[in-house]
A and B are shown apart, each in its own frame.
Chain A
Amino acid sequence: MKIPLALASRPRARINFAMAFLILLAATACNPESPLPLEGPDRHALGPADASVTLVAFDDYQ
């Protein structure tokens, strides 16, 4: 990654830039596979409403 020249020449700004990058990295790495809430209408559902496993499929007919 290229660091802008203005940052490279200013230690304080460089630290802030690094901190922001690390925070962003941590937020992304923080359980990226966490399940999404099963909210929303299931107008078109097949199978028992109390099934322990629910598959939601988004599709386009074209």
Chain B
Amino acid sequence: MKTVVIEQYVDLGRVRFVSRHFPFLGPESDRAAESAECAGEQGRFEEYSELLLANQQSNRNAGGFSDAKLVALARFDGLDEIVFETCLLEGRYVSNVEDDLAAAAEWGVRGTPSVFINGEFISPADLSTVLAALDRALAVSEPN
């Protein structure tokens, strides 16, 4: 969904896409979110997030996103692995993830993905529904 929205709307300058965390599936969800923040510290949030999603495991909280695995995923050009690992071990961005969780609770988020367009909850968050909702929102904001 994100890739299509970015290609068809964000890259054309029509929509802003904001990614926020809602780690609700256990401790490895928390660590994965924190690790994405650590990648973001080095300007590599999007690339690292894609790696996380591409490496999802069917067994949750079974080591798929252990700290060692998260650090291993960070071995790519443009990311300083040592800085990344230090960030993760220090828990440098725990509060960022907690902030997102608090916001999610305030917004009534109960699962993922949860999508809001101009503050309106979109359900279900499948591709066709989200694209239709984007078109409706754009029709209002860009009447011509």
Contacts and interface: CB of A to CB of B under 8 A. Distances in A.
B29 A52 contact: no
The A contact surface, by secondary structure, is loop
A1 to B, nearest CB: 24
Could you say which of A42, A46, A54, A62 has the most chain B C-beta atoms within 10 Å of its C-beta? Answer: A62
Interface in B83-108: 96, 99-100, 103-104, 107
Interface string A37-62: 11011111111110111111111111
Size range of the interface on B? 35 or more
A60 B115 contact: no
Interface of B: 1-2, 5-6, 9-10, 13-26, 28-29, 32-33, 36-37, 40, 45-46, 49, 52-53, 56-57, 60-61, 64-65, 96, 99-100, 103-104, 107, 109, 112-121, 125, 130, 134, 137-138, 141-142
